[in-house]
Amino acid sequence: MARFLIVEARFYDHLNEMLIAGARAALEDAGHEVDVLTVPGALEIPGAISLAIESQQYAGYVAIGVVIRGETYHFEIVAGESARGIMALTMDGMAIGNGILTTENEQQAIVRADPSQLDKGGEAAKAALALLNLQAKFA
């Protein structure tokens, strides 16, 4: 049994709740413990994970959030930079599943977040579990 941290950027409460439910279910079904940390936005997720890594309390991480395209360029910055930050940590050997949704509208986000539909929170947790297994394999 390992301990995982779900780091969520809470902006769309109802969507985050579905993503967290999917991630939590996947991790708990695999026999792991789960903590949840809330940060202001998706751009803060990689920094929060980096700080948590320093604490050495967690075996893996799941990034959760929703970025819906608006009328400005901000969408591209948030989507790209949050993914880049998570990828950098993953390339350093951390077991991180990226469950930050980047969608055109809320309806797309609902379908992806809902555990009874595409369950992207659960998929992100399973990705973190797969990377944790690879860490053990190559240790």
Residue 105 lies in a domain: yes
pLDDT band at 73; cut points 50, 70, 90 = confident
Binding site residues for 5-amino-6-(D-ribitylamino)uracil, as ranges? 11, 42-44, 66-68, 98
Sign of CA dihedral 28, 10, 40, 86: positive
- How many domains, in total, are found in the chain? 1
Spatial separation of the C-alpha atoms in residues 133 and 139, rounded to whole Å: 10
Residue 23 lies in a domain: no
* 31-55 residue pLDDT tens: 999 999 999 999 999 999 999 999 9
Instruction: Give the pTM.
Output: 0.96
Residue 47 lies in a domain: no
Residue 94 lies in a domain: yes
Residues annotated catalytic, as ranges:
74
Binding site residues, as ranges? 11, 42-44, 66-68, 71-72, 98, 112
* 93-105 residue pLDDT tens: 999 999 999 999 9
Residue 35 lies in a domain: no
- What is the chain's mean pLDDT, rounded? 96
Helix spans in 30-100 (H): 45-55, 74-91
Binding site residues for (2S)-2-hydroxy-3-oxobutyl phosphate, as ranges? 71-72, 112
DSSP state for residue 16 in the 8-state scheme: H
Q: Let me know: does 33 contact 4? Beta carbons within 8 Å.
A: yes
For 1-139, strand residue ranges (E) read 3-9, 33-39, 60-68, 96-103
